[in-house]
């Protein structure tokens, strides 16, 4: 199968609930899934040995090396990663990284497997199966090492978890509804050890976030920032862990006035700044740092207008490396209705956009694929398709279209204003000309299609804003021919007012447009009466 082809992991069918909150993170060449009570592992690296007899003596530990002598100087070796006993199938599974010497190419089911002290761990007779992750990834429950009901040698994961990440080699989980303020960390380099002891610097750890004497805040997001900080996005506050909790680490407040909306309502840009949806809109902060609300000036009513709720909406954010901006997607879970924003990192502007309901974004992910054709921001949509933005398409794609084909027209516009029409706000001005230079018109590159314009004037700035927002009854309207600069782009009708607003738009199917420059000619008018 070619790169880019998705293959279903048959063993996973029905084992997870994607209608419930689900998160995944990568660690040690495995994917760890936290989906409430469904804590699972997709293992892409290990060999699995199946013993038909339970291993009760000389139980190998994580990191032990097992050897299989296949005679004729052929040896198979395994570094043990994880073992567990399936008491339903009565099989004991040993997972580990395999390597070979002397011409051996795989473990076989004929020879004993022994440990470093020559103790037989699995006899050749009991070794019933050898399965390679390279053939089919392994799928199994995420449980403590050699989990046997009732034993706590390697601790216990929480009954449920909806949040997870990797931090300093530790698997971190949180979001347990029974203990919403609690987080849990595995032993370093060992995702199977959750025995919380304080004996060594790599010990598993559990904890909460609060000032002394206070109960912890509800954790809504786990954000690992390199190996330096672990950020806890909580309901009404944000905390960060600096360093390792068992080796001098400390928990500090990042902000006590804003929380985070949800598990995926955050992202990092290329400079290590953390963007997130907080109490009052879209914020940005460094770690550590002081969060700043980016949307409070441009979109002061953003939170009220969107009226989002974690129980009904999902907010996902991602850094679009190609277009140098932050994509913020607000999607209603029930029907896919969506409201999205592209925050342009270069201009600092917010660009609202919306997609068809079926294309409402449930997840965003920048995939750094080895194949550059697949290297892009991916959008997991309500209809089950994974989409990405295609700059060469003039229309949007929906569920009825073939991949790479779009039949839904894109309605896009930009507004300018309110623009004062005179230097003195007690005076009026006259609009005597408007010219628009659209993109293209040279020998190379793409050419813009025609652009429609609407001009609104008013006696106050707010009046013009309302007219722009309503978009009806313009004082002047027309078509600007494209591409490039055209004589027909000028208008000569004189329009008087104190403030001016211009809306440029294209909502024609199979068309696209771009603006290079908007030129407005104004002359002084008389005093405002």
Q: Which is nearer to other proteins, 43 or 255 (CB)?
A: 43
Give the shortest CB-66-to-other proteins separation in angstroms.
14
Selected binder of other proteins within 22, 293, 298, 515 (CB under 8 A): 22
According to the binding rule CB under 8 A, does residue 117 interact with other proteins?
yes
According to the binding rule CB under 8 A, does residue 135 interact with other proteins?
no
Residue position matching structure tokens 């050699």: 146
Q: Which is nearer to other proteins, 122 or 205 (CB)?
A: 122
- The secondary structure of 434-478 as a DSSP string is EEEEES--SSSS--PPPEEEEEEEESSHHHHHHHHHH--S-SEEE
According to the binding rule CB under 8 A, does residue 374 interact with other proteins?
yes
Give the shortest CB-33-to-other proteins separation in angstroms.
7
Q: How many CB atoms lie within 10 A of CB 283?
A: 23
According to the binding rule CB under 8 A, does residue 45 interact with other proteins?
no
Q: Which is nearer to other proteins, 368 or 472 (CB)?
A: 368
The bridge status of strand 179-185 relative to strand 170-176 is antiparallel
Backbone angles phi, psi at 272, to 5 degrees: 85, 10
According to the binding rule CB under 8 A, does residue 16 interact with other proteins?
yes
Using the rule CB under 8 A, give the single segment among 40-48, 190-198, 347-355, 400-408 that binds other proteins.
40-48
Give the shortest CB-22-to-other proteins separation in angstroms.
5
Closest CA to 289 of 271, 302, 309: 271
According to the binding rule CB under 8 A, does residue 2 interact with other proteins?
yes
Three-class DSSP category at 304: helix
How many angstroms separate the CA atoms of 171 and 186, rounded?
5
Q: How many CB atoms lie within 10 A of CB 132?
A: 15
Q: Angle at the Cα of 46 (from 41 to 48), degrees rounded to 5?
A: 90
Bridge partner list, 231: 223, 240
According to the binding rule CB under 8 A, does residue 133 interact with other proteins?
no
Three-class DSSP category at 284: strand
**What six digits make up the tokens of 121?**
């761990």
Please give the residues from 377 up to 436 whose contact with other proteins meets the rule CB under 8 A. Answer: 378, 380, 384, 386
Selected binder of other proteins within 137, 233, 278, 360 (CB under 8 A): 137
Report how many residues bind other proteins under the rule CB under 8 A.
48
According to the binding rule CB under 8 A, does residue 15 interact with other proteins?
yes
According to the binding rule CB under 8 A, does residue 33 interact with other proteins?
yes
Residue position matching structure tokens 């506050």: 237
According to the binding rule CB under 8 A, does residue 349 interact with other proteins?
no
Closest CA to 318 of 264, 256, 362: 264
Give the shortest CB-162-to-other proteins separation in angstroms.
13
Quick one: three-class SS letters along 245-288? CCEEEEEEEEECCCCCCCCCCEEECCCCCEEEEECCEEEEECCC
Q: Which is nearer to other proteins, 24 or 130 (CB)?
A: 24
Give the shortest CB-121-to-other proteins separation in angstroms.
14
Cβ atoms of 449 and 512 within 8 Å: the answer is yes
Q: Which is nearer to other proteins, 224 or 363 (CB)?
A: 363
According to the binding rule CB under 8 A, does residue 3 interact with other proteins?
yes
Please give the residues from 51 up to 70 whose contact with other proteins meets the rule CB under 8 A. Answer: 69
How many angstroms separate the CA atoms of 443 and 470, rounded?
38
Bridge partner list, 58: none
Selected binder of other proteins within 57, 198, 368, 470 (CB under 8 A): 368
Binding site for other proteins (CB under 8 A): 1-9, 12-19, 22, 24, 31, 33, 35, 40, 42, 44, 69, 71-75, 101-103, 116-118, 137, 139, 367-370, 374, 378, 380, 384, 386
């Amino acid at each position: 199968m070619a790169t880019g082809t998705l293959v279903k992991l048959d063993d996973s069918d029905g084992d997870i609930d994607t209608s419930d909150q689900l998160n995944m993170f990568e660690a040690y060449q495995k994917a760890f899934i936290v989906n409430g009570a469904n804590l699972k592992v997709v293992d892409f690296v290990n060999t699995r040995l199946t013993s038909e007899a339970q291993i009760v003596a000389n139980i190998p530990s994580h990191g032990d090396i097992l050897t299989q002598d296949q005679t004729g100087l052929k040896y198979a070796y395994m570094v043990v990663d994880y073992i567990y006993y399936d008491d339903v199938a009565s099989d004991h599974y040993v997972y580990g990284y395999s390597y070979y010497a002397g011409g051996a190419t795989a473990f076989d089911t004929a020879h004993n497997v022994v440990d470093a002290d020559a103790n037989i761990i699995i006899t050749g007779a009991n070794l019933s199966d050898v399965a390679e992750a390279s053939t089919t990834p392994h799928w199994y429950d995420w449980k403590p090492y050699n989990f046997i009901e009732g034993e706590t040698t390697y601790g216990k994961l929480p009954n449920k978890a909806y949040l997870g990440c990797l931090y300093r080699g530790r698997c971190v989980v949180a979001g347990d509804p029974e203990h919403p303020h609690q987080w849990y960390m595995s032993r370093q380099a060992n995702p199977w050890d959750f025995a919380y002891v304080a004996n060594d610097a790599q010990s598993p750890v559990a904890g909460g976030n609060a000032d002394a004497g206070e109960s912890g805040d509800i954790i809504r997001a786990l954000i690992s920032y390199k190996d330096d900080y672990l950020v806890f996005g909580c309901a009404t506050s944000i905390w960060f862990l600096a360093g390792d909790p068992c080796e001098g680490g400390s928990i500090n407040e990042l902000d006590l006035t804003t929380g985070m909306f949800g598990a995926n309502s955050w992202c990092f840009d290329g400079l290590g700044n953390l963007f997130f949806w907080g109490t009052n809109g879209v914020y940005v902060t460094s770690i550590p740092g002081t969060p700043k609300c980016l949307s409070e000036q441009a979109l002061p009513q953003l939170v009220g207008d969107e009226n989002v709720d974690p129980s009904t909406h999902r907010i996902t954010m991602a850094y679009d490396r190609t277009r140098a901006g932050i994509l913020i997607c607000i999607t209603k879970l029930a029907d896919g209705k969506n409201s999205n924003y592209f925050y342009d990192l270069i201009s600092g502007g917010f660009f609202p956009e919306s997609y068809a309901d079926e294309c409402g974004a449930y997840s965003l992910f920048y995939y750094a694929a080895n194949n550059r054709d697949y290297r892009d921001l991916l959008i997991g949509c309500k209809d089950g398709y994974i989409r990405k933005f295609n700059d060469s398409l003039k229309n949007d794609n929906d569920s009825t279209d073939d991949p790479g084909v779009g039949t839904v027209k894109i309605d896009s516009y930009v507004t300018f204003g309110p623009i004062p029409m005179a230097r003195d706000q007690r005076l009026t001005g006259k609009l005597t000309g408007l010219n628009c230079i659209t993109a293209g018109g040279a020998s190379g590159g793409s050419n813009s299609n025609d652009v429609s314009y609407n001009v609104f004037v008013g006696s106050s700035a707010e009046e013009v804003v309302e007219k722009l927002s309503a978009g009806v009854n313009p004082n002047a309207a027309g078509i600007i021919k494209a591409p490039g600069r055209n004589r027909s782009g000028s208008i000569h009708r004189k329009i008087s007012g104190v403030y001016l607003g211009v809306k440029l738009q294209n909502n024609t199917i199979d068309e696209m447009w771009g603006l290079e420059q908007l030129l407005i000619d104004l002359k002084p008018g008389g005093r405002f009466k």
